[in-house]
Amino acid sequence: MEYPFQNPELPLEERLDDVIGRLSLAEKCTQLRWKSPAIQRLGISAYNWWNEALHGVGRNGRATVFPQAIGMASMWDGAFTEEIASAIADEARAKHHEAARRGSFGHYQGLTFWTPNINIFRDPRWGRGQETWGEDPYLTGELGAAFVRGLQGSDPQRLKTAACAKHFAVHSGPEALRHEFDVHPTPKDFRETYLPAFKRLVDEGVESVMGAYNRVYGEPCCGSKILLQDILRDEWGFQGHVVSDCWGIKDFHTTHKVTANSQESAAMALRNGCDLNCGDVYCDSLEVALAEGLVTEEEVDQALRRLWRARFKLGMFDPAGHDPYANTPMSVVCCEKHQKMAFQAAVKSLVLLKNDNQTLPLNGDPKYILLSGPLVSEVDVMLGNYFGMSPKISTVLEGMAKVAPEGIRMDYRAGCLLDRPRPNPADWAGFEAAASDVVLCCMGLTPNIEGEEGDAIQSPHKGDRETIELLEDQLAYLKNIRASIKKKGSSTKVVVLLFGGSAIAIPEIQELADAILQVWYPGEAGGEAIASVLFGKAQPGGRLPVSIPRSTADLPPYDDYSMAGRTYRYMDEEKILYPFGFGLGYTSFTYKSLSCEIGKESCEISVEVQNTGDLDGDEVVQLYLSPPKHASGQPRHRLLRFSRRSIPAGETVKVNWQIPIADLAFYNDEGKPVMLPGVHTLQAGGCSPFAKLTDLGGANLVRAETEISP
């Protein structure tokens, strides 16, 4: 060890003092860039901060591909989410150190991951909603925190990898306007909806926070005093580092027009707490800002200390053999254990939306199954965006071929195109549909239609959707299938697999199909998982992390960030087709004996849940709180707690929660939590409270409720 900063036995702050004191001002500035160059005279390697791990190590070759984030959210399973994130971190460690041994320190090969995306999926038109954990602040915060725990590990002195909470804050489209719009949320919406998940991850110890492209209250998020200083650091006590969204600081002077030039933009960002620039402003203009007196060397030192604290905790300045994670073998990448986890996650993410007359599972061994629709053999719909490359990606075609019992005839005819009419009018698929016992229609969206600004190359709206209905040609095809079946007088069952990363309004399909399975972008094992559920070798285990509206017309204007009329908390029930938390299964559950004992500091809540069906199964036990009926401007109800439980057939489990009294508060118009006077209602069940649940079928939706006065 040539220098004290290389001695892992010294206190971390001493090591930071030593290394920062050895750098010139010019060298310090270079280290605030996402592509930080090597400082060879001190033996410091180059480092690229930009890496992705949304649902597996992304954009860096071979990796296990888990379901897209919205699919993992559908598991409602914090413990398994943490396990998945830990597996991702293991693969990241192995790949990083193998690259380092080859002398490669490039893009997407590091240990600082810009995930999870915990923005609230407030509007289904947002193309990046697939990256999120849904529309509810509490669910998003709990699952996001679990993901952070898995990525970062449990050692208080070391980081397995570094997680990042993004995009801070009030950011969820439109993609076409993200570089210029200014959001002025009400204090209530700001504190009740847009901030809680970020606060939860800060409390969990997330290492970094990424600013959003937009402005909030007139200030660009990547240089906002309100967000980065007043709230993040002063109010919440955040100790990690802040990174800009990529080329977001450049927007200060080019699109937001709040600064005159790049050196003013660099100064605004650095002064207000943005430590790392993903982009080129700190490269081109930070030293100019220093020379003009817009920022000081002390402010540069402060940012560098925050950044390099993370690098030290990741073991990057330790001598060889000292970092316990450095020996993670390459054999963990796409290992059998992780492949099994990907399969299990896919199964648990599938949401059964309809199952008339127990169409599923296909236990009757149909004689002939027709696979149809534009997505039967599509690989992209297994992946979503920000993905790695698995050597074992299972499409629906492959999954059905693997799982279906021998002796069943299967055929595949696409039947229709994804997003345009077919030029050939001949309808062989319709003829075959009427002759089959089951038609399996694979429909919905792909990552080329919805996604981030530049990724969704089929989207004319930079990744967003203008309407949320099923694409017209797919719906027309399904109508033709049903008409052919009716014309032949056939008893053919129609099962729809609905792909996509967001809510699709399908009231017509609810009428046309016998069964509907929302499969999201289910990851590398998606096809096999889907087939296993269809044939009853596994049970669908997902619950919706978003509400599914009836139509685009039922949504508020997309660019309006008010929560009025949005999500299950504020949307009129008549406008909801499938409610938040909804999902059917192959067994049934009943709820009883919901009780609440209120103490001075906390309340004890319990409910009994019985599996009243013939099969073992998982239930997601959900607890909701409704305010007093006279309370105006409050959500109809909100998720208070949840617990995923495996319950054997015929058995009863008791679910207990100890909840701080403060968690029963609602937000007033000033954005402050207050205890509302009057009688509140607690409801426990397998779904959010919804008056028309019986119309959707499923005994697992029976609930228990009680009244309390906090």
CA distance 618 to 541: 7
The residue type of 519 is V
Q: What are phi and psi of 354, to 5 degrees?
A: -150, 145
Q: Do 439 and 493 form a contact (C-beta atoms < 8 A)?
A: yes
Residue 538 has what pLDDT?
Answer: 98
Lookup: tokens for 700:
């697992």
Task: Summarize pLDDT for 244-303 with one digit per residue, the tens.
Answer: 999 999 999 999 999 999 999 999 999 999 999 999 999 989 999 999 999 999 999 999
24: closest CA among 301, 318, 262? 301
User: Which H/E stretch holds residue 594?
Assistant: strand 589-598
Q: How far apart are CA 647 and CA 12, in angstroms?
A: 47
Torsion of CA 268, 272, 278, 282, to 10 degrees: 40
Across residues 415-420, what is the average pLDDT?
A: 95
User: Could you tell me if 497 and 397 are in contact, meaning their C-beta atoms sit under 8 angstroms apart?
Assistant: no
pLDDT for position 302: 98
Contact 546, 503 (CB under 8 A): yes
Q: Tell whether the torsion through CA atoms of 620, 65, 500 and 361 is positive or negative.
A: negative
Task: Report how far residue 427's alpha carbon sits from residue 442's, in angstroms, rounded to the nearest whole number.
Answer: 17
- The two tokens of residue 49 are 């901060």
- Which residues 6+ apart lie within 8 Å of 186 measured at CB? 562, 669, 671
Burial of 379 (0-12, 13-18, 19+ CB in 10 A): middle
Q: Is the bond leading into 137 cis (omega within 30 degrees of zero)?
A: no
pLDDT at 68 over 50: yes
Indicate the pLDDT class of residue 578, thresholds 50, 70 and 90.
very high
Going by pLDDT thresholds of 50, 70 and 90, the confidence category of residue 701 is very low
Structural tokens at position 568: 């299950």
- Domains in the chain, start-ordered, CATH in brackets? 4-236+297-332 (3.20.20.300), 341-578 (3.40.50.1700), 589-708 (2.60.40.10)
**Percent of the chain scored above 70 by pLDDT?**
99
Mean pLDDT for the stretch of residues 100-106: 93
In the predicted model, what is the mean pLDDT of residues 158-176? 98
Helix (H) or strand (E) segment spanning residue 269: helix 262-271
The dihedral sign for the CA sequence 533, 536, 542, 544: positive
End-to-end CA distance of the chain: 60
pLDDT tens digits along 632-673: 999 999 999 999 999 999 999 999 999 999 999 999 999 999
- b/e burial code for range 222-245 (CB count within 10 A of at least 16 → b): bbbeebbeebbbeeeebebbbbbb
Mean pLDDT of the chain: 96
Task: From 395, 379, 401, select the one nearest 448 (Cα to Cα).
Answer: 379
What confidence tens digit (pLDDT) does each residue in 330-373 have? 999 999 999 999 999 999 999 999 999 999 999 887 999 999 99
Average pLDDT over residues 439-461: 97
* pLDDT score of 698: 52
d(CA 236, CA 165): 14
Token representation of residue 273: 């707490």
Question: For this structure, is 245 an active site residue?
Answer: yes
The residue-averaged pLDDT of 103-119 equals 96
Q: 544-573 pLDDT, tens per residue?
A: 999 999 999 999 999 999 999 999 999 999
Give the C-alpha separation, 221 to 644, whole Å.
Answer: 36
Report whether 697 contacts 358 (CB < 8 A). no
Interval 295-326: pLDDT, tens = 999 999 999 999 999 999 999 999 999 999 99
Rg (CA), the chain: 26
Q: Model confidence at 130, in pLDDT bands (50, 70, 90)? A: very high
3-state SS assignment for residue 662: helix
How many residues does this entry show for the chain? 710
Q: Is 654 exposed, middle or buried (0-12, 13-18, 19+ CB in 10 A)?
A: exposed
- Is residue 115 within 8 Å of 54, Cβ to Cβ? yes
Tokens of 391: 């050597």
What confidence tier does 703 reach under pLDDT thresholds 50, 70, 90?
low
The 3-class secondary structure across 425-480, one letter per residue, is CCCHHHHHHHHCCEEEEEEECCCCCCCCCCCCCCCCCCCCCCCCECCHHHHHHHHH
Instruction: Tell me how far apart the alpha carbons of residues 18 and 3 are, in angstroms, rounded to a whole number.
Output: 8
Instruction: Report which secondary-structure segment, H or E, holds 95.
Output: helix 78-101
For residues 414-427, give the mean pLDDT: 92
| β-strand partners of 584 | 352
What value, to the nearest 5°, has the Cα angle with vertex 674 and ends 672 and 679? Answer: 150
Query: Which residues fall within 8 angstroms of residue 106, CB to CB, at 6 or more apart?
Result: 48, 99
| pLDDT value of position 699 | 43
Tell me which residue of 109, 99, 92 sits closest to 50, measured CA to CA.
109
pLDDT at 118: 98
Q: Which one of the listed residues 77, 136, 245, 323 is annotated catalytic?
A: 245
CA–CA separation, 556 vs 12, rounded Å? 50
User: Are 38 and 28 contacting, i.e. CB atoms less than 8 angstroms apart?
Assistant: no
